[in-house]
A and B are shown apart, each in its own frame.
Chain A
Amino acid sequence: MSAGTWLIGIVVVPVMATVLSYLFTSVVRRVATVVSGLVTLALSVMVALRVADGGRVAAGALFGADSLSGIFLLVTAFLYAATAIFSIGYLGGSRGMGGLIAQRGQIAQAVWQSTGAGKDGDNEEASRQWAVSDRFDKRFFTGINIFCGAMSAALVLSNLSLVWVAIEITTVVSALLVSLEDTDGASEAAWKYVIIASMGLGLSLLGVLVLYIAAVPVLGSSHALQIGYLVHVHGLARGTVELAFVLAVIGFGTKMGLAPMHTWLPDAHSEAPTPVSALLSGSLLAVSFYVILRFEQVTILNVGNVFPHDVLFVFGVLSLLIAALFLLVQRDVKRMFAYSSVEHMGIIAIGAGFGVPIALAGVMLHVVSHGLAKGTAFFGAGSFKIKFGTKDISRISGGLTALPWSGSLLLAAVAALSALPPFALFRSEFMIVDGGLSAGQDLGVVVLLVLVTVAFAGLSWNTVKIILSPDRLEVAGRQEPSVWMVVPMLAGVVGLILLGLHPPADFMRLVDSAARELTGRVAR
C-alpha cells in the first residue's frame, strides 16, 4: 500500500464509520467509531513517519501531506481514537451513574422495566423515550465521525479552497454536536458558535480568494490554490498576500479561538457533550491554526517574516491576556478549560510570532502536547460531571477520594497545562521562551511569562479546590464511572510524560522538519 493510499484512507475510514453509525445499532456504532479512530491513528503515524525527514506524500492532485500536516494529523487522530474510546464509557457510564447524557434513556429504561412494556409493547411513552435515547446515540456517533473525518480531511487535502470547505463542515457538524444535550445553554452556545464561526469563515474564504488572485499570475489558475505549489512560490503581489494573510488570521483565527474573536469558544466548549469539548479544544483549534500556518508560509516567502510574525504576536498576546484574566474568575470546570485553550492558542501564536527555529519547534511540540493535555483534562471534567452531577467548581470537592484514577489523571493534565515538569508542555514552552530570547524579543518573553503565571494561578487554584480539598460533600463511593473513560486519560498522561522526558527520535525529527517548513525558505 502506497503512502498516497494512506492519505485517502485517513478520509475514507471515518466516512465508512459515519455510514455504519447512521445505519446500524448502538454496538456497531461504538465498534465502528473506535476501529475508525484507531485505524486513522495508525495511518496518521505511518504518514508522519514517512514525512519526518521532509518531503511530501501525495495521492493525485487532491491529497497531500508534509511534515507540517504530519504534526497536526497525529494530534487529531489521537484525539479521535481517545474520544471514541472515552465515549463508550461516557454514554454508558452516564446511564449507569444517573448522569448526564442518557438521562432520558435511563428514565425510559426504568419505565420500561417497571411497566413490563418491553414484553407487551403497550407503553408508548417508554418506547418513545427509548427512541429519543437511541436517536441521541446515533446522532452523537455519526456526528463524531463526520467531525473527525472533516478535520482529518482538512489536513490532507491539497487544495486550499477544499481545506476551507472541510473546515466549514467541521463548523456546521460541531455546532449540531454542541446543541446535542438539548439544554437551554447548549442551544444558546450552538447558535452563537455557528454564527460567529461562520462569519469568521466567510472572511477566511475571502482570504482564500484573495490569495488565489495573487497566485494566478505566477502559478496559473489550476495550481493557484494547491498547497504544494503555494508554499514554494515567490513573486506574488505584496499587498494582496498581506490582505489574504490578515483575512486568514481573522477568519481562521475565529475558529482557532484567538482573541478578540474567541467569544464563542467558552460557551461552546462548556455546553457541548464532554467528548465533543475534547475534540473542539484539542483538535479543531489546532486544525484552524494549521491553515493559518499555510498562509504564513506563503506570506513569509513573498512579504518577508516581519509582517506575519507581528500579526501573530499581537493576536497571541491579546489572547493570552484575556484568557489569563478570565481564568482567575471561572466557576465552571469546563469553562475554565475552555479559557485555558484560549491561553494556549495565545502561547502558540506568540511562539509562531517569535519565528525562530527553536520557537517554531516548540510551537509544533506545543500543538501535540496541548492536544494530549486538553483532551485528558476535558475527559476528567466529564468524569467529574457524571460523578458530582455538576460542573460548578464550588459544588465539587474531594475529587481524588471520589475518583482516584480520574482525579489523579486530571491533576496530572492540569499540571501539564500549567507547563510543569516533567510534562511535554514544560519542554515546549521552554523552547518557545528560548526562541523568544534568541530572537531578541525580551519584552515579549517577559509578557509571555507574566501572563502564563497569572493563568497558572487561576487554573491551579480551581483545580486544587475540586481535587485535593476534603470530601465535604460525601459523594457515594470510590468508584470510577467506567474504565473506558480512564484508559484514554491514562494514554494522554503517558504521552505527555514521554514527550516531556524522552520524546521518540522520529517524533523530534518530524518536529524539526515541520519547523524547517516554516523557516527554511525565509525571504529576507
Chain B
Amino acid sequence: MAAATVLSSPSTFTSVVTLFGVGVLVTEFLMLRAHLLRSQVRLYMVQSFLVAAVALVTGIEQGNSGLYVVSVLSFIIKVVIVPMVILRLMSVDSADLSQSAIMKLPSMLYIALVTAACGFFIGVSFRTASVIGRGTAASGNAVSVDIAIVLVAFILIVLRRDVISQVAGFFSLENGVTLFSVSVARNMPFITEVATFFDLLVAAVVFGLLMRLHHMKTRTLSTHVLDRLKG
C-alpha cells in the first residue's frame, strides 16, 4: 500500500522508471565490455530483472493486474529460463569463451556511446513530434532510454563475434522493446503481452537448438568460421 502511494506520484514514478531504464542501458554497456561470455549472460539476468521490476512498478502505479503477470512472466522466462538454456549450452564448450570482440574495447564503447546518444536524440524528437499531452503516457526520458537500449543491442550483436553475444544482444534488444511496451505503450492488450512472451520462449528454445547445431558443426562458439556462404 505504501509503495502504491509513493508510486502514485507521477514524478516519483517517472523517476523510478527512468532510473531502472538507465540501469538496463548500463548493463548493456557492461555486456559489451564483458570478457567472459558467462558474465554476459549474468548481466542479461540482471537486465531482465530490472525490466521485470519496471513492469511491477508500472503495474502498481496503474493498478493494472495484467502488468503483474507480465512482471512474473518476465522473471520466469528471462531471468530463469533463457539464461539457463544459454548456460547449459556453454557448459559443453569452455575453450573459447572470451575475446570475441572485433575491435578494441575503447573503440567499441565509443561507438556504443555515440549510438546511445543517437537513440536519445531520436527519442527526444519522437516525444516532441507526437505523444506528449495526448493521454497515452510517454514517461519522460523513458522513450529516449528505451530507444538507446534497442540501438546499443545492435552494437552488441555486430561487434561481438560469438553466438552467445549475438543471442544475448537479441534478447537485450527484446528487453528494450519490452521496456518500451511497459513504460511507454501502456495498457497493451493482455493477449498481446502473453503471446509475445510465448514467442520469446519459443525463440529461446530455437536459438538454443541452433547454437548447439553450430557448436556441433564447428566445435566453437565463435562466428568467425561462418564465412562459407558468400556472393
Please give the residue numbers on chain A whose beta carbons come within 8 Å of chain B beta carbons, in ascending order.
Answer: 159, 161-162, 165, 168-169, 172-173, 175-176, 179, 182, 184-185, 187-192, 194-195, 198-199, 202-203, 205-206, 209-210, 212-214, 216-217, 221-222, 225, 237-240, 243, 266-267, 270-271, 326, 329-331, 335
Contacts and interface: CB of A to CB of B under 8 A. Distances in A.
A165 B196 contact: yes
A65 B218 CA distance: 46
B202 interface: yes
Given A194-B206, A239-B130, A188 B229 contact: yes
Interface of B, secondary structure class, is helix
A476 to B, nearest CB: 30
Interface residues of B, number: 50
Contact of B187 (A182, A216, A335): A216
B229 A189 contact: yes
A160 to B, nearest CB: 9
Contacts of A216: 134-136, 185, 187
Most chain B beta-carbon contacts within 10 A, residue among A172, A185, A238: A172
A190 B207 CA distance: 10
B131 to A, nearest CB: 5
Contacts, number: 141
Contact of A165 (B150, B184, B199, B229): B199
A431 to B, nearest CB: 33
Nearest to B136: A216
B170 interface: yes
Interface of B: 125-126, 128-131, 134-138, 150, 153-154, 157, 163, 166, 170, 173-174, 177, 180-181, 184-189, 191-192, 195-196, 198-199, 202-203, 206-207, 209-210, 213-214, 217-218, 223, 226, 228-229, 231
B135 to A, nearest CB: 5
A198 B129 contact: no
A162 B135 contact: no
A169 B217 contact: no
A357 B218 CA distance: 52
B226 A198 contact: no
A162 B174 contact: no
A206 B134 contact: no
A178 B134 CA distance: 45
Contact of A243 (B126, B166, B226): B126
Contacts of B188: 161, 209, 212, 221
A64 to B, nearest CB: 15
Nearest to A202: B173
Contacts of A206: 150, 177, 180
Contacts of B166: 195
A267 B138 CA distance: 40
